[in-house]
Amino acid sequence: MIKLLTDSVASIPAADAEAMGIDVISLYVYEGDVEHVDAEMDLDAFYGRLEQMADDVPTSSQPSQQAFEDYFEKAAARGDEVLGVFISSKMSGTFEGALRAARAVHARNIDLNAALVDTYSTGWDQAYCVLAAQRAIAQGRTLEECARAAADAVECTRFLFSPTNLTFLQRGGRIGAAKALLGNLVRLVPVLTVRDGMPLDIAKARTQKKAIAQAFEVFKKDVEEKGLEGAVVHYIGSPDDALEWARTVVEPFLGHAVRVLPVSPVVGLHVGPAMGIAYTCARPLEGKLTEKADLVAFVR
């Protein structure tokens, strides 16, 4: 049997993960001396006080080596293969930690077979790769075929989002202090995406409303050119603006309802209050990967 493992940053609701047989290993959020298990957090409560955290932004950490080793040991004992699909290795050490753990367990359990996929993304941009793997497993495909299905999905997905300001990005080290100060002073709000595994701003506007309108035009162009297979409206902080945008802009364009879901707090604490959209298309999207990347590592 192939066991499918992802991390909590994929932001897949617990009920969905359980129904589809997806195991989730959690990252952690540290708010002062309080440790939160990302996958178990009360997101509404956390995001309800997010703006108050701007002067003392929480930190995050990846799953422990022991947690990964315990997972692989149990899989080996059952005779299961493992397919892990994780957050971008350029944003977190989670993928590398899983790979080290798999190799350590394989050294003790030579029959363990595992494949680990670096999605080069996060949130539901990452989740769509997990779902591609899940479909392949349900079809009875081999471990290698399932891993390739997840890796192939990377170029077909995109995440577009816009923060209300640059404060959290600056304090998290994602942009320089001078750039954050300039952006906040002149009210330049970026449209951010993930390219080659790292956040990148692809446009700027005077207000978040205008930035989101620009994001929608990118989304619309991708859908018209590449064919849409799924979309999720994401939010960090209050869901109100995201719900309104979904109902008044995204759904009328698509002609059907879309889910509106929070992003993992591990992402949220680096970005601050924001909203956007993650989607997957039928064909590869231009600009998602501009450099050659080996996204799959096998342990066998």
What pLDDT, in 10s, does the model give residues 84-116? 999 999 999 999 999 999 999 999 999 999 999
Which of the four pLDDT bands, split at 50, 70 and 90, describes residue 206? confident
Residue 131: helix, strand or coil by DSSP?
Answer: helix
Per-residue pLDDT reduced to its tens digit, 159-200: 999 998 777 776 655 444 334 434 443 467 889 999 999 988
Q: Report the pLDDT value the prediction gives residue 174, as an integer from 0 to 100.
A: 47
Q: Percent of the chain at pLDDT above 70?
A: 94
Q: Report the pLDDT value the prediction gives residue 188, as an integer from 0 to 100.
A: 76
Please say if the pLDDT value at position 133 is more than 50: yes
CA distance 238 to 243: 10
Give this prediction's pTM.
0.92
β partners of residue 115: 83, 298
Which of the four pLDDT bands, split at 50, 70 and 90, describes residue 9? very high
Spatial CB neighbours of 210, under 8 Å, sequence gap ≥ 6: 189
Side-chain half-sphere exposure of 161, counting CA atoms within 13 A: 36
Side-chain half-sphere exposure of 179, counting CA atoms within 13 A: 13
φ and ψ of 48, to 5 deg: -65, -25
Please say if the pLDDT value at position 148 is more than 60: yes
Which two structure tokens, joined as six digits, stand for 248?
Answer: 């008044």
Please say if the pLDDT value at position 78 is more than 60: yes
Q: Which of 111-125, 143-157, 200-214 bottoms out in mean pLDDT, i.e. has the lowest?
A: 200-214
Per-residue pLDDT reduced to its tens digit, 214-238: 999 999 999 999 999 999 999 999 9
- Mean pLDDT to the nearest integer, 250-263: 97
Q: Report the pLDDT value the prediction gives residue 187, as an integer from 0 to 100.
A: 61
Q: Report the pLDDT value the prediction gives residue 182, as an integer from 0 to 100.
A: 42
Which of 83, 119, 132 lies closest to 282 in space, CA to CA? 132
Beta strands in 189-227 (DSSP E): 189-195, 198-205
Q: Tokens 């300001």 — which residue? A: 165
CA distance 101 to 104: 5
Spatial CB neighbours of 140, under 8 Å, sequence gap ≥ 6: none
Helices (H), 163-264: 167-171, 177-185, 208-226, 240-245, 251-254
Bridge-based pairing of strands 114-118 and 296-299 is: antiparallel
Q: Percent of the chain at pLDDT above 90?
A: 75
Bridge-based pairing of strands 2-7 and 59-61 is: unpaired
Contact 23, 4 (CB under 8 A): yes
Burial class (CB in 10 A: 0-12, 13-18, 19+), 140: exposed
- Mean pLDDT to the nearest integer, 118-130: 97
